[in-house]
Amino acid sequence: MNSIHPTAIVGPYVTLGTGNTLGPFTVVGGVVDIGNNNWIASGVSIGCPPEVRSFPHMNWVESSDGPGVSIGSDNVFREGVQIHGGWRDRTRLGSRLFVMNQAYVAHDCVVEDDVTLASGVAIGGHVRIGRASNLGLGTTVHQRRVIGALAMVGMSSVVTRDIPPFMKAFGSPCRPKGVNTVGLARAGLSAQTVAQIEQLAGVPNYPENLADLNEVESELIWYREALTK
Q: pLDDT tens-digit profile of 72-107? A: 999 999 999 999 999 999 999 999 999 999 999 999
Q: 3-188, what's its fold?
A: UDP N-Acetylglucosamine Acyltransferase; domain 1 (2.160.10)
- Using CA atoms, how far apart are residues 34 and 26, in angstroms rounded to an integer? 14
Q: Single out the catalytic residue among 47, 125, 130, 183.
A: 125
* Residue ranges covered by each domain of the chain: 3-188
Q: Respond yes or no: is residue 125 known to be catalytic.
A: yes
Given this model, what pLDDT does residue 45 score? 97
Given this model, what pLDDT does residue 202 score? 82
Alpha-carbon separation of residue 6 from 75, 113, 197 (angstroms): 21, 30, 51
Q: Respond yes or no: is residue 107 known to be catalytic.
A: yes
Q: Single out the catalytic residue among 23, 86, 94, 108.
A: 108
Confidence of residue 186 (pLDDT cuts 50, 70, 90): very high
Given this model, what pLDDT does residue 63 score? 60
Reported as half-sphere exposure (CB side, CA atoms, 13 A), residue 58 has a value of 17
Q: What is the mean pLDDT of residues 220-224?
A: 96
Q: Single out the catalytic residue among 80, 107, 114, 183.
A: 107
- Torsion, Cα 82 142 215 38, to 10 degrees, reads 0
Q: Indicate the range of 51-55, 67-71, 97-101, 155-159 predicted with least confidence.
A: 51-55
